[in-house]
A and B are shown apart, each in its own frame.
Chain A
């Protein structure tokens, strides 16, 4: 017997809605497990930093959220682009579902950065390349969401949003390489592909665990949100009316 997996089956909202609902709890569980491990390593295993004392422990959420803020933007632009190119409803819904979490991650990266910058640099905020381009990322997310909210017809909103999402994607490499291209107060990358990490192994482990936790959380929350968006956009469809009673 040959089992053919029909991948495209899940590109239709009625098929994806229950799948997303079944997957989300597992991603939340994975996020909780990685998060607990990351926090344990970050606070109890990783040593005190020689230069920054205990303040450096902000790194475990700062780097994880900053990575997610950039990664989610690329994911959002990808789905927005696919939605426009192939006119697939679910792709555009995915793009809309990613945006608020991306904006939240950007906010967390900026907030934790300010609380780290104050004790280390003596300033909550400086207008340098890394910080400014990350702030522009927040504005891009907010612009995408407000533009979509301002247009009543969802398909037109999807296309307009896709323009912002795709144009704004140039900002992501600018954020990433800003610490190399410009003279900046922000420290360089602690982790890179070309050389070994410039930090203690346990610090790196904690950081990667927290990044995994944020990644799992991001997937879980986007799945929950895309379920809401599907219900909002398809509320008049028969399959929505025939959904089983929600569990109390």
Chain B
């Protein structure tokens, strides 16, 4: 185990902004892409009936 505490984990050895900024934006992008696609498909199915 690398981390003594939750705080140490969140601090990322002083690189918190860089590490969490990377993972956060990546997570957002993936969530957004999936949401938009599901909505697009639902809209299309409604239109083609």
Using a CB–CB cutoff of 8 Å, the interface residues on chain A facing chain B are 43-44, 46-48, 53-55, 57-58, 61-62, 65, 100-101, 104, 107-108, 111-112, 115-116, 118-119, 217, 221, 224-225, 227-228, 231-232, 235, 240-241, 243, 245-246
Instruction: Name the residue on A nearest B27 (C-beta).
Output: A61
**With the chains together, A225 CA to B39 CA distance in Å?**
11
Instruction: Name the residue on A nearest B42 (C-beta).
Output: A246
A59 to chain B, nearest CB (A): 10
Query: Is B41 within 8 A of A241, CB to CB?
Result: no
Interface residues of chain A: helix, strand, loop or mixed (majority):
helix
**Which chain A positions have C-beta within 8 A of B1?**
44
**With the chains together, A105 CA to B29 CA distance in Å?**
9
Using a CB–CB cutoff of 8 Å, the interface residues on chain B facing chain A are 1-3, 9, 12-15, 17-19, 21-23, 25-26, 29-30, 33-34, 37-38, 40-42, 44-49
**With the chains together, A193 CA to B14 CA distance in Å?**
34
B5 to chain A, nearest CB (A): 14
**Which chain B positions have C-beta within 8 A of A217?**
30
Say which residue of B18, B26, B41, B48 sits within 8 Å of A235 (CB atoms). Answer: B48
Query: Is B13 within 8 A of A235, CB to CB?
Result: no
Say which residue of B19, B26, B49 sits within 8 Å of A108 (CB atoms). Answer: B26
**With the chains together, A235 CA to B45 CA distance in Å?**
9
Query: Is A54 within 8 A of B19, CB to CB?
Result: yes
Query: Is A54 within 8 A of B37, CB to CB?
Result: no
7 A-B contacts, Cβ less than 8 Å apart? A53-B14, A115-B22, A221-B34, A224-B37, A235-B47, A241-B48, A246-B46
**Which chain A positions have C-beta within 8 A of B17?**
115
**With the chains together, A245 CA to B42 CA distance in Å?**
11
**Which chain B positions have C-beta within 8 A of A108?**
25-26, 29
| Contact A246 to B38, CB < 8 A, known contacts A115-B18, A116-B18 | no
| Contact A232 to B33, CB < 8 A, known contacts A61-B22, A61-B23, A62-B22 | no
